[in-house]
Structures are given as structure tokens and as C-alpha cells.
Amino acid sequence: MAHSTFSQVAVAVPVGNDLSVKRSVFKTNSLRFHDKSWSPVSALNLNLRGTRARGWQTVCMSVPQTSAPKVSVAPLDLEDAKEPPLNIYKPKSPYTATIVSVERLVGPKAPGETCHIVIDHGGNVPYWEGQSYGVIPPGENPKKPGNPHNVRLYSIASTRYGDSFDGKTASLCVRRAVYYDPETGKEDPLKNGVCSNFLCDSKPGDKVQITGPSGKIMLLPEDDPNATHIMIATGTGVAPFRGYLRRMFMESVPTFKFGGLAWLFLGVANVDSLLYDDEFSKYLKDYPENFRYDRALSREQKNKSGGKMYVQDKIEEYSDEIFKLLDGGAHIYFCGLKGMMPGIQDTLKKVAEQRGEKWEEKLSQLKKNKQWHVEVY
């Protein structure tokens, strides 16, 4: 839902017979995403020096503007399928895709390294927002000599159109898995995550074996474009939500005009660990009525008890609103490390009891209504 604003623009108009405007320049500042531009509204800048002396008058008029023009996407026939694509490529016959780019997402003070990896699938492995790709790293499985490595699943962090908006790429958000010996405190490369290190070390042009897409539980329900979506992520679990939010707020999709509320809770260690923060902050500025964004920084913020601030503490802080939204049919999504769920479940149970409700019954109803979506790993 784009918001219209009205800007005052000065325009010179002729009073006598002089119908010439010496110079009129339209200036546009635009953000670029690959070869497509996401432009703010054009500003009219007329050079008016000396116009009055030539029988001109300057008048002001209100020009309606849209606050955030969206990016056009293609091919739009990706909207035609009634069912999501599933397992087009299987582990025994994966698709060979190509690495487009690998970009470090986090700052120097972040614990660990997280990368944004764009993969070119040539339009041959289509997917929907909320699905996952499997990746088979090169080399052989040490537990099964002569066989390839097992598939590792990664939530896709882009919309079906990809970061270049042409339906030919997919993006993954990958944290490099590094093992430190508890006795020496030193890194043991032999025990590092095989797939995450392969992906984070890859270079543009490298080949990567992918399978899928897979998964239905995290698909974005689009039957009601005015629905409320509450998204709770820890770390790289933000991946599917980046896809949702780009579809809602960045892309111009003729068949999906979002007018509801998207509310993102993101839990990370510190400011340097925030993922896609610039994108989310822009949506907050452009769509304040449709997007809310709450960060839980465990190493920099304290909860009300003086302990570390985790996403469940933010949920408790807004629990009245969240429960009311759920009662009104809101969808709630959880994505991240499976260790996030017990603390969140305990918080929701405590809040439910304070409201005189039985959490088990409420949870059962949410699942029955297909409002509850969980993908943890």
C-alpha cells in the first residue's frame, strides 16, 4: 500500500506572450538494484532566475506523489501456478547452478561471519517465498566413502524474482559454521561446517549443486492481502522474512497488493550482527502504517529483569497486542535455531495464563486455523 503525499512545487507561467521556458530540469535520485532502479519521487526543479522581469509569474501548486515507487518484476507468469513448485531437482540428480556474488553481511564486531549468496539458476529451479533449496557441497561424504555429501537445506532469502528481479536467481543467507576446540579455544578446520564454509568461500562463477525447492509450512498466505503477519527470527532465520518483505514492499506485483501489517522481530547478538537492516529500515520509513520492526540485541540490551534481551523478551513486551492480533486471525512465523523455541513457548504460555487462557488449547487452535508456522534447524 503506497502512501500519497502532496508536495508544493514552484512553477513559472507566462503572463504575456512569452511561452518559452528557458530551462526545465527533472532531477531524480535513485537507488539501484543491479540493472533496475528503485526511484524516489521525481522533483521538479525549474530555473526561475529573471522570469518575473520577462513577464512571468511564479505560482505554487500541489502535486500528489507516491512515497515509494516499486520495482517492476518479470516474468509475471511466475504468478500463474496454483501450487508451489516442489522437488523439481532431487539429490540424485541436482541442478548445477552458478554463484553470482558472495557478500559479507555483518560488521567487524559480530560474532562469526554471515554471508549473502546470490545463485543463478537460470529460471530452471523456480520457488515461492518461504521455501528452501538444498545444497550439496563438493567432495565425498566421509561417513560414506565414494558417495556425495548429504544435502544441507537453506531457507531462500529472496522473492521468486530474485535480487535482480528477473526470476533467474535465488539468494541464501548463510552463517559460516566454525568449530572451536573447547580445551585449546582454537579453531579446528576439520570440524568446521562443510557446506557453509564452501558457500561463504565460493567466488562468482563457481558451480554449486542445488536441489528442491522444498517446504510448504512457511509459504506466505496471500488469500487476504490485508492480513497481519508476525515474523519472529533469530540470526539467519530472517531469510524467508526478507523474501516476504521484498514482495510486500519493494516489488510491483500486479496480483499481490499488500495492505495489511507486517511485524518483524529480529534477535541477534549486537548491532554489527543485524541482517538486512538497511532494507527493513527503509520499509519502516516508507510504510509506517504497514510495517513494524523490533530488534532484540542480546549483548547490548537488557530485558526488564536486567538479563540479556532475547526475542521472547520482546514478545512479552508486546504480548497484549500480539495476542489480540492472533485472536483476529494474524499469522505468526518462527524461523531460526531450534533452541529459540522453548524460551518463546514458555513466554507465550506465561502470557496466556496471565490472560486466563490455556496455552495448549490456544496453540492447538492456531495450528488448526493454519496461523502457526515454524521452521527451525
User: Does 7 count as an annotated binding residue?
Assistant: no
Active site residue 129: no
Annotated ligand binding at 176? The verdict is no
C-alpha to C-alpha distance for 191 and 42, rounded to whole angstroms: 54
Q: Is 337 annotated as a binding residue?
A: yes
Q: Which of 129, 251, 316, 375 is catalytic?
A: 375
In contact, 112 and 193? CB cutoff 8 Å: no
Catalytically annotated residue among 89, 95, 127, 154: 154
Q: What whole-number distance in Å separates Cα of residue 125 and Cα of residue 160?
A: 10
Let me know if 335 is a catalytic residue: yes
Is 175 annotated for ligand binding?
Answer: yes
User: Is 281 assigned to a binding site?
Assistant: no
- 132, 155, 158, 202: the catalytic one is 155
Q: Is 375 a catalytic residue?
A: yes
Q: Is 236 annotated as a binding residue?
A: yes
For residue 60, CA distances in Å to 5, 41, 65, 158 come to 16, 18, 15, 43
Residue 195 designated active-site: no
Q: Which whole-number Å values give the CA distances from 195 to 54, 139, 178, 191, in the listed order? A: 71, 10, 11, 12
> Annotated binding residue at 298?
yes
How many CB atoms within 10 Å of residue 322?
22
173 is catalytic: no
375 is in an annotated binding site: yes
**Dihedral sign computed on CA atoms, order 310, 311, 314, 319:** negative
Helices (H) and strands (E) in the chain, counts: 7, 19
Among all chains, which residue has been given the C-alpha cell 497484549?
Answer: 320
299 marked as part of a ligand binding site:
yes
Instruction: Please enumerate, by residue number, every residue annotated as part of a binding site for NADP(+).
Output: 155, 175, 236, 298-299, 308, 336-337, 375
Known catalytic residues are 154-155, 335, 375, 377
Q: Which residues are annotated as a binding site?
A: 155, 175, 236, 298-299, 308, 336-337, 375
